Structure formats: C-alpha cells, structure tokens
C-alpha cells in the first residue's frame, strides 16, 4: 500500500520544483532513461510540474520530447549493438522475450506505424526502441517517427494542462491517491498490452 504522506510529499516537491533549474535536469534524465531502460515514465514529473506552471507546459513537453528521443537512440543502440547481452536481458526482464521475433518481423511492413502508434500509448517505449535497433530499422526514420510519437504524447499533455490546468489541479489534489492509482494502472496496462501485442 502506498504511503499517502510520502505520495503527497513527492507531489508537493514536483509542484515546488517547477521553477527550479535542477527539476528540468531530473525531468530530462527520467525521459531519457525511460526510453532505453528505466520503467517509470516522465509523466510522474511532467504532470505536476505542468500543473504548477501551465504556461511552462510547452517547455516541459519539448524537454521531454528531446530527452525521450535521445534516450530512444540509446535504446536503438542497445538493440542494434548489444542485443545479445544487455538488450536481451532488458527484454526478458519485462517478460517479453518470446514476443520480440514476431515484433521484429512486423517491422518489414509496418515499422513507422509501430513506432508512432506505440510511442503515443502507455506501452513501454523502451521495448520499441530496443526492438527497432534489433530489427535494423532505418535510424533516421526511427528518429523522425520518435519525434512525432513522443512529441505528440507530451504536447497533448501540454495542451490540455495549459488550457485546463487549474481545474485539473484542483481535481487531482482532492483525490491524489485515486489519480496516482489510475496512473499506475495505465502503466501496468501498457506492459500487459505490450506483452500481448508485441
């Protein structure tokens, strides 16, 4: 069970950190790592920071996009250069070892749609980046599709929070535990979908 006091402290820290330069570095680091090996999405910081400073939501979304695409290139390199060791270990860590070959074969026909479609969803993006490298998908098309997918995902958040941030913030702060549980369920659902569809 999640400690509500700890949850509130973490949320309050993200809200208070929205104007601090170090928070941008942490947000970028999480977005970078999530695209290559880290299981936690950058939304855990992006959402409260954008709620605290809705006018800076564009900056936060742009930073997440750039860092996520850069992390995606690292994930691609893991798949292309280190799949037999590190890449395979990461895929098996998430329980998807048996699905990679089918995913690799689908790249021949649907590569761009796979990258864009899965990059917009809660499906863990690191699985897409590592498999893209493993499949030998064209790196420049991979980067272009990643910019579209990750930019689309993070800028949708920016648009919504820029426009409705105050109302959303009041609702989240009233029911913080419920919304965190919902977010965690979405992440878990992403892994389940990835397991079944990759």
- Say what angle helices 100-119 and 125-135 make with each other, to 10 degrees: 130
pLDDT at 187: 54
pLDDT digits 0-9 by tens, 73-89: 999 998 888 877 776 77
**In the structure encoding, which two tokens stand for residue 162, read together?**
């820029």
Residue 26's CB is within 10 A of a number of other CB atoms, namely 15
- Taking 70 as the threshold, does the pLDDT of residue 183 lie above it? no
Calpha distance 49→172 (Å, rounded): 13
d(CA 137, CA 77): 11
pLDDT tier at 6, thresholds 50, 70, 90: low
């Amino acid at each position: 069970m999640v400690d509500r006091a700890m949850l509130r402290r973490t949320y309050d820290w993200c809200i208070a950190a929205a104007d601090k330069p170090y928070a941008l570095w942490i947000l970028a680091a999480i977005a970078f790592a999530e695209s290559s090996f880290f299981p936690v999405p950058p939304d855990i910081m992006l959402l409260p920071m954008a709620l605290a400073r809705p006018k800076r939501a564009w900056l936060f979304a742009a930073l997440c996009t750039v860092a996520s695409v850069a992390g995606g290139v690292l994930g691609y390199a893991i798949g292309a250069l280190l799949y037999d060791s590190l890449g395979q270990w990461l895929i098996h860590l998430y329980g998807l070892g048996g699905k990679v070959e089918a995913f690799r074969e689908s790249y021949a026909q649907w590569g761009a749609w796979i990258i864009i479609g899965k990059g917009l969803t809660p499906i863990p993006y690191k699985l897409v980046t590592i498999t893209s490298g493993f499949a030998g998908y064209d790196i420049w098309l991979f980067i272009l599709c990643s910019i579209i997918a990750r930019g689309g995902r993070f800028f949708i958040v920016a648009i919504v929070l820029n426009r409705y941030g105050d109302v959303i913030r009041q609702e989240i702060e009233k029911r913080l535990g419920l919304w965190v549980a919902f977010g965690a369920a979405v992440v878990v659902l992403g892994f389940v979908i990835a397991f079944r569809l990759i």
